[in-house]
Structure 1
Amino acid sequence: MSFKFEKLIIWQKSMSFGEDIFILSQNFPKDEAFNLTSQIRRASDSIALNISEGSILQSKLEFRKFLGYSIRSLAEVVTCLYKAKNRKYISEVNFEEMYNDSYNLMNQIIAFRNQIKE
């Protein structure tokens, strides 16, 4: 027994991505707990949440819309990564790794969304 979204590679990868962001953000300063730390965690979690929500009992058009929300959340994560790098909370190496993961995940979500036809 499983939910439809559990079989989606984009959901599986977005779940792993969210965990990687959580681990990375554990090193942010305590005074960012309610700001950047919270924002990047919520945005990264929102990627998988929107994929799962959109896949259940939705029309193809609605599912495409929720995948768009996931892509927007991913863009938000990238902006937070820039903020973290600029504030010296993460190294250039960490930034590049997560940036590349973000870019690859975005392209996979877009490719999946483009396969969904009305």
Structure 2
Amino acid sequence: MFLNLAHTKLDVFQQSRKLTLECYRITKVFPSDEKYAMVQQIRRAALSVHLNIAEGCSRRSLAERRRYFEIARGSVIEVDTAFDIAEQLQYVKLKSIEHLGELIISCFKQLTGMISTKNE
């Protein structure tokens, strides 16, 4: 925010910010008894995507960067899996979270590409 570093201009960083904000927005309508369970888990996982991309971009070695991007990708999978359960429990309708699905797919693909890159 204040540092204005290069990673903030990356598409994956901007998409992960949107993913995080969308997760916060959608989970506002979850049942109150999920406030300290699924809601918090989804929000932590979404924020983890965003934060691990930022931290990974600050690392000098390719191996370290990849590790942070792997953690971020794992958190994307966690968000996707949690929303699968949320949809099954009828907390959300699939149609209402289509944009979230697009963000999940976008982040997953971009992170996979960043992990697979061969050059430093």
- Give yes or no for TM over 0.5: yes
**Distance in 2, Cα, partners of 1:42 & 1:9:** 21
1:40–1:77 CA contact under 8 A, matched in 2: yes
- The residue matched to 1:28 in structure 2 has which SS? coil
Q: TM (normalized to structure 1)?
A: 0.91
Per-residue deviation, residues 53-99 of structure 1 (Å, max 9, x unmatched): 11114311100110000100000001110111011110121244423
1:52 aligns with 2:71: no
2:31–2:91 CA contact under 8 A, matched in 1: yes
* Unaligned ranges ≥5, structure 2: none
**Distance in 2, Cα, partners of 1:49 & 1:83:** 24
Q: TM (normalized to structure 2)?
A: 0.89
- How many residue pairs align between the two structures? 118
Residue 6 of structure 2 is matched in structure 1 by 4
Q: Mapping of 1:1-118 within 5 angstroms?
A: 2-118=4-120
Q: Which runs of 4+ in 1 moved over 4 A?
A: none
1:54–1:67 CA contact under 8 A, matched in 2: yes
Measured after TM superposition, the shift of residue 116 of structure 1 is 4.9
1:50–1:66 CA contact under 8 A, matched in 2: yes
**Distance in 2, Cα, partners of 1:2 & 1:99:** 28
Which of structures 1 and 2 has the larger relative contact order (alpha carbons within 8 angstroms, sep 6+)?
Answer: 2
RMSD: 1.6
> What is the letter of the counterpart of residue 48 of structure 2?
S
Percent of residue pairs identical: 26
